[in-house]
A and B are shown apart, each in its own frame.
Chain A
Amino acid sequence: MEAVARKNDARVPVTVLTGFLGSGKTTLLNRILTEEHGKRIAVIENEFGEVGVDQELVIGAEEEIFEMNNGCICCTVRGDLIRILGNLMKRRDQFDYILVETTGMADPGPVAQTFFVDDEMQTKLRLDGIVTLIDARHVWQHIDDSDEVKEQIAFADVILLNKIDLVTPAELDKLEARIRSMNAAAKIYRTQNAGAEIDTVLNVGGFNLDRALEVDPKFMEPEYPFEWSGVYWLNAGSSKLRFDIGPDPSMSLAVLPVEAPTREALQAVEMDAVLLFSEESRRLASGGGIAPGRTHYELTLDGKPTEFEVDILHAGYYAFFTEHRPEEFQAELHSQAGPVVAEIRREYKPDHEHDEEVSSVGITISGDLDKRKFNQWMSTLLQTQGTDIFRMKGVLSLKGEADRFVFQGVHMLFDGRPDRPWKNAERRNQLIFIGRNLDRNQLNEGFRSCLV
């Protein structure tokens, strides 16, 4: 259906090719230009002059940053691109596709924003995707201290890990994990001599609202501050939570009521637990009482066996979220009738491969959003952090609206519209942010505050 939608879209698709010097951009470009794929491609590249290559249209662009507003990156576009695209569109009948090759040091933000700023441009051109090539061997020399490399990774819809013949599989896995921690929404391919299938780099639909959230579902899982959760049936009264000697002197814990001992019911409260763990904890010494609800406990274990009272007012299912796995402390829960076993349990494996600055935050929340509240929150967020939010995509469930609302943006510029009806599907909201210095808890809390 998506392919049909793209076929019916009369706008010219545009792919932006980024990548550091030596990453293989030119090799890929040459392949695209010489391979039989049936597309007539106009290429805008960063060299002076205008030459024809194998009946293709290649136009040189002089990189020209156009700051519309006091140097604010959110209002910065590429003047050269605007001019060239404007002229190119007068020769619309000569090509089917546009490929923009940027310099190794180019910031992809202004390039991408160029396709969003002008209403007419948006009706004629469709930014299909940003493809970033990475030299798998040499990228380590730049990845920590080059803003350009980080941004080229963060903005990408498709990442080609190129020159894989020059590194070991273990090095490649490490690099992929690092890149994944920065941009979890991009599709990553491993290539040698930029030998990717043409279909993986052209017409990828990276900026297609119909597939705004077609990302690896694992990405939508937040980075959990706890390692374990289990759902127990507890009768009204007091139960005891016992710990033996373990590897840590304390353990964070939250207990929340859940509907049922199912994965879905557990999932419904996981975000509450994440938020709870971000709040200040209440220290509790052995013998202290734990009540289900909105308290983040820090149990003092002190390297000796300890016991805590769990006070239950109403019989029901309760999810225990623990900072460490209970096995590490031989933890046990005992009701008055004897040991209680978790009916469902889940382990969370936090990803320890982090980039300190650039990261992705995915949020999923069930329920309907208040349109006014969301608008206000998003406006404030983009006004205050638009510079650091490189890309965002979302599918929203708006109160009173039968259709899904899909949107995506680059810095402060965005494009959104109602999509297909929800029908019987669960109404839920999904948002992805990719950017610098993102505060996961702040984004979670802010988004949650927009619920009806």
Chain B
Amino acid sequence: MDIFSRRGPQRANEIKAQVGAALGLDDEATVMVCELACMEEGCPPVETVIAVFRPAMQKIQFRLHRSMAEITTQDIEEMCAQHVNSSLEKNHGSCCS
């Protein structure tokens, strides 16, 4: 945690766009990206939570145990592909929510 660092929205926007493309989200979907440094017992020191909210559907939630800056396009593609495959297999909205 660094109280003096300031981060713009660029990286979050990039991640949102990549998640949107990988999941084929439409305009009604809202993607939230949040980097957490929670020290509660059981939480990793840094993690990025990505959540997808769609009307009348269960939310999709991903957690990556790294900062936003460290997340790669490959991470997002793999994570989203896994979600899509899992959804197809289980035939329901989300594996992570």
Contacts and interface: CB of A to CB of B under 8 A. Distances in A.
B4 A375 contact: yes
Interface in B23-55: 27-34, 36-40, 42-43, 47, 49, 51, 53-55
B87 to A, nearest CB: 19
B6 to A, nearest CB: 6
B33 A119 contact: yes
A74 B32 contact: no
A375 B3 contact: yes
Is chain A's interface secondary structure helix, strand, loop, or mixed overall? helix
A206 interface: no
Contacts of A407: 3
A120 B13 contact: yes
Nearest to A82: B32
A118 B32 contact: yes
A173 B29 CA distance: 49
A118 B33 contact: yes
A366 interface: no
A379 B5 CA distance: 13
B53 A82 contact: yes
Contacts of A341: none
A123 interface: yes
Contact of B38 (A75, A79, A86, A414): A75
Nearest to B11: A119
Contact of B4 (A68, A87, A416): A416
A68 B40 contact: no
Interface in A58-72: 66, 68-70, 72
A306 interface: no
A37 interface: no
A417 interface: yes
Given A69-B40, A120-B12, A405-B4, A86 B33 contact: no
Contacts, number: 95
B16 to A, nearest CB: 7
Nearest to B29: A86
B9 A68 contact: no
Interface string B49-83: 10101110001010000000000000000000000
Contacts of B89: none
A44 to B, nearest CB: 14
Contacts of B61: 68
Most buried by A among B2, B9, B37, B40: B40
A383 interface: yes
Contacts of B11: 119
B7 interface: yes
Nearest to B40: A72
Given A119-B8, A416-B3, A416-B4, A82 B38 contact: no
13 contacts: A68-B51, A69-B38, A69-B40, A69-B43, A79-B59, A86-B29, A87-B55, A119-B11, A121-B32, A123-B9, A375-B1, A375-B3, A417-B6
Interface of B: 1-4, 6-9, 11-13, 16, 27-34, 36-40, 42-43, 47, 49, 51, 53-55, 59, 61
Given A83-B30, A83-B53, A87-B30, 8 more contacts: A68-B51, A72-B38, A74-B40, A75-B49, A79-B59, A90-B27, A120-B16, A122-B9
